[in-house]
Amino acid sequence: SAVISQKPSRDICQRGTSLTIQCQVDSQVTMMFWYRQQPGQSLTLIATANQGSEATYESGFVIDKFPISRPNLTFSTLTVSNMSPEDSSIYLCSVEVPPGGSGGFHNEQFFGPGTRLTVL
Amino acid sequence: DAKTTQPPSMDCAEGRAANLPCNHSTISGNEYVYWYRQIHSQGPQYIIHGLKNNETNEMASLIITEDRKSSTLILPHATLRDTAVYYCIPKGSMGKIIFGKGTRLHILP
C-alpha cells in the first residue's frame, strides 16, 4: 500500500491568484496522477506525472493552467494558476504501486485525502 | 477506455447483502474490472478487481459474467459505513483510472 498526504488540506483563494498543492508519498512510486472533483461530480483525471519526464495532460487541461512538478519519486506538486470560481474543486493526488507481497500481479492505485479549494 | 453503465443510486438495508451491478460491454480483453468507492469527503478507496474469474477479499466479492460484459460487486453484510459512491472501472495493466458517475449506495438502518 501507499500512504499519501496532501498540503494544504483546504484553502480559500482570491480570483486571479495561484495555489500550489503538494503531494507526498511514503514510498517511491513511478506514476503519480492528479485528479479534480468538482462539487457533486465524479473525479476527472487532469494529468499523469512521471518522475524525470514532462507531465501528460488529459483533454481539456493544459500545462499553463495546471503546471506540475515531479522532482523525485515521492513528491509532486500541482499548481492551479490564475484561479477563477470555476476552479473550486477538490484536487486529489494518486499513485500507482506494484502489487504487494500477496503475489498479486496488477498495479494498485491509491488516493490521497484531497485538497478542497474554494475560489472567491 | 471501456465505458460503464451503473445505476445512479441504490438502497440496501443494514445487514443485508448489497449487490451493485455494472455494465461494461465494450471492455477489452486485457482490461481488468476494478471497483473503488468514495465515502463522503474522502479519497477513493480500492475494493477489489478481477479479470474473468470471480474474486473475493475481506471487503467484497466480485462476480464477472462469462462474456465479461458485466459484473456485480457484492457487499455481503452491509453496514452504515458502507454508504458511499461505488465506481466500476475497466483498466488495463498500463491504463489510467478513469471514473464514471458511479452508484450512490445508501445503507438504511
Question: Which residues, in sequence order, are bridge partners of residue B81?
Answer: none
pLDDT digits (tens, 9 = 90+) for B18-44: 999 999 999 988 899 999 999 998 999
Residues of chain B found within 8 Å of residue A107, distances taken between Cβ atoms: 93
Residues of chain B found within 8 Å of residue A55, distances taken between Cβ atoms: none
Number of residues that this document lists for chain A: 120
SS3 content of chain A, % helix, strand, coil (to 5): 0, 50, 45
Whether A45 and B96 lie within 8 Å, measured CB to CB: yes
The three-state secondary structure class of A65 is: coil
Whether A111 and B43 lie within 8 Å, measured CB to CB: yes
- Nearest Cα of chain A lies from the Cα of B59 at a distance, in angstroms, of 16
pLDDT digits (tens, 9 = 90+) for A38-90: 999 999 999 999 888 889 999 999 999 999 999 999 999 999 999 999 999 99
Q: What is the Cα–Cα distance from B52 to B31, expressed in whole angstroms?
A: 10
- State which H helix or E strand residue B42 sits in: none
Mean pLDDT of chain B: 93
Determine the residue type at A97: V
CA distances from A108 to A9, B79, B91 (A): 24, 25, 11
- Nearest Cα of chain A lies from the Cα of B75 at a distance, in angstroms, of 20
CB B89, CB B36: distance < 8 Å: yes
Residues of chain A found within 8 Å of residue B85, distances taken between Cβ atoms: 42
Q: Is the peptide bond before A8 cis (omega within 30 degrees of 0)?
A: yes
